[in-house]
Amino acid sequence: MEFLLNSLIIILQQPYCSPGYCKIKNKRKLKIETSNMSDKIKWVFKNLHLLTSLLIVIPTAIIYGSPSIVPKYLDIRVNTTDFANMLKSIMFLYMGISFVWILGIWKTEYWKSATQLNVLFMLTLATGRALSMVTDGLPTEGYIFGVISEFALGLFSIYQLNKYKIESN
């Protein structure tokens, strides 16, 4: 839709030129617009694992770090200062890791490191949750969703590392 609107704007901006000249000029401008849109789509796909991780991890961090919010979403009661302190530490650990992912999205030279961190973060969390499911029993639905998402994002991040390593060679 954006492409069509930009095309219409380009055509309407040049009402007094000859049809042949406008056609050539419009094709050049339309090609640039198409290229920009293609670059944006490629950028989104390259960073999809990091963007998805951010959308999940930042809200989770905020929930973990807010003792009054935690019981609304998880079967956890924050009833000691030490436990509240531990949850706030986890919140800032998650925020720090999220910062690295943002850096990887923003600066391409950090993309590989951010993606490797994403693999490590997601697969170690998923492994820990899976181990807990075996030894401690099944948790609430939120944690079950978490383990599935973490395994999926970890594996998808490995795929992204391999895909874009090949494309950059």
The reported pLDDT for the residue numbered 127 is 97
The string of pLDDT tens digits covering residues 34-58 is 457 788 999 999 999 999 999 999 9
Q: For 8-12, 60-64, 106-110, which range has the lowest pLDDT when averaged over its residues?
A: 8-12
Q: Can you tell me the distance from the alpha carbon of 147 to that of 123, in angstroms, rounded to the nearest whole number?
A: 9
